[in-house]
Amino acid sequence: MQFLNLILCIILVFMPVIGFLFISEKKISKKVYIPILAFLGLIFVLLLVGIFAADFHVTAFVFQIILPILSIYAVVGLIICGIAFLAKKGFFNGKRLILTVSVIICLIAVIVCAVFYRQNRQNGQKVDYSKYPDIEITGTWLANNDKKSVIARWESSTNTFTNTSEKEFKYEPDEPYKMPDTVSGEDADVLELFYNADKTAVYYSNDNKIFKYIPADNSYLLIGEAPTDNPGHFLILKICVSEDEKKAFFIACETYNEDVANNLYCLDIETGECSVILQEKRWIDDFEISPDGESIIYNGNDKIVRYDLASGKTETLLEGTRADTRDNGGAYIIRISKDGRYIMYYKDMVPVGCSQVFVYDIETGVSEKIIQTNKYAIKDVNWAEN
């Protein structure tokens, strides 16, 4: 279906060029040069950016600007070509003029009514989301021409948001935590802390080293190091610890080795041994341990995959999950519900300016969009506590 939509879009964009050639009697006159060259120029820019842009975000930004221009060009071009064709065939002369204008007005009215009918039908449909757990979101609230940093709760039974915390929005990075590096003897700037199941221990990293902090006795312990030739350029992005705290799983990235971002690591906390247990073809963006502790579910390489810890085998649950997260804080997420049935994730932002959250049902194999909002720019989501 996606391939068919792509073919139809390409045909739509090229139709005005064919139309300009047709109404000019298949001879490229000077009047036809401008729209054709403008069209080919935009296509050429897209190709250059797609091939040579060093940063994906630059490519996405350029595509975001040029693709709407091409769409407008296609629609306007088709309208101009249609009017020119009718004029050429004499449909705007004499008695034909009234009939032609009437038909055009009727067509416009039908299109407008169809759009309004579809919109009202969608708005009138009441979808029951009560089977899902509630969701807690963190992000920016956009209301009354003002921005606030908020924590809000989405209630599945009513499909509504309630702000539970509000503060003035500021363009400032989060303050890092000061945590000791027991190897260097210095405090390290730590951006995120990770907890064990009952939150009695804190896990954090500095470069390729992973530490454990137990608040009860205020003790710090180095539990292991990731294998790398560039420890100062190694960044651990997320740590998940098994319920028995015998294993720690993590994903990372490294300045001089892009393949590190494709790896899922396992650290044996008792022995300190660390190894790569899984390697994808592209980035592993996020992961979580399943509630039963038997598998890891991750979002990477444009799909959601379940990795069985006992057998080491993988099973693709859902494909096409690469998110365009410009409205979701630039994060890719996997959040597994406590019963292990639902997986929450982001997907492409359509329309632009709306944060969207999807849920995949493992039991039924069905994926559903449960949140679409232009009132909140969502940075992070979690299943809410009861």
Residues 309-327 pLDDT 10s: 999 999 999 887 655 444 3
| pLDDT for 118 beyond 80 | no
What value does the mean pLDDT take over residues 192-204?
A: 94
The residues pairing with 296 across neighbouring beta strands, listed in sequence order, are: 289, 307
Q: How far is CA 270 from CA 80, 224, 251, in A?
A: 73, 9, 20
Question: pTM of the entire structure?
Answer: 0.69
| pLDDT for 107 beyond 90 | no
Two structure tokens written together for 190: 């730590």
| pLDDT for 276 beyond 70 | yes
For residues 301 and 205, the model is more confident at 205
Two structure tokens written together for 261: 């971002």
Amino acid present at 108: I
| Range in 51-60, 150-159, 200-209, 262-271 with the lowest mean pLDDT | 51-60
Two structure tokens written together for 58: 């630059």
| pLDDT for 240 beyond 80 | yes
Two structure tokens written together for 118: 């579809």
What is the structure's pLDDT at 322?
A: 59
Q: How far is CA 42 from CA 10, 16, 66, in A?
A: 13, 14, 7
What is the structure's pLDDT at 293?
A: 93
Return the percentage of the chain with pLDDT > 70, whole number: 78
Amino acid present at 71: S
What value does the mean pLDDT take over residues 73-102?
A: 76
Q: Which long-range contacts (CB under 8 A, 24 or more apart) does 30-35 make?
A: 35/73, 35/77
What value does the mean pLDDT take over residues 209-234?
A: 94
| pLDDT for 56 beyond 70 | no
Band (pLDDT 50/70/90 cuts) for residue 149 is confident
For residues 343 and 43, the model is more confident at 343
| pLDDT for 218 beyond 60 | yes
What value does the mean pLDDT take over residues 175-185?
A: 90
| pLDDT for 258 beyond 50 | yes
What is the structure's pLDDT at 2?
A: 44
DSSP-based helix, strand, coil % in the chain, nearest 5: 30, 35, 35
Return the percentage of the chain with pLDDT > 90, whole number: 39
What value does the mean pLDDT take over residues 18-44?
A: 62
* Angle made by CA atoms 342, 343, 349, in degrees to the nearest 5: 130
- φ, ψ of residue 293 to 5 degrees: the values are 75, 10
What value does the mean pLDDT take over residues 99-121?
A: 80
What value does the mean pLDDT take over residues 35-58?
A: 67
| pLDDT for 272 beyond 90 | yes
Q: Could you give the CA distance from residue 193 to residue 201 in angstroms, rounded to a whole number? A: 10
Band (pLDDT 50/70/90 cuts) for residue 176 is confident
Please provide the average confidence, as pLDDT, over all residues in the chain.
Answer: 81
For residues 385 and 262, the model is more confident at 262
| pLDDT for 117 beyond 70 | yes
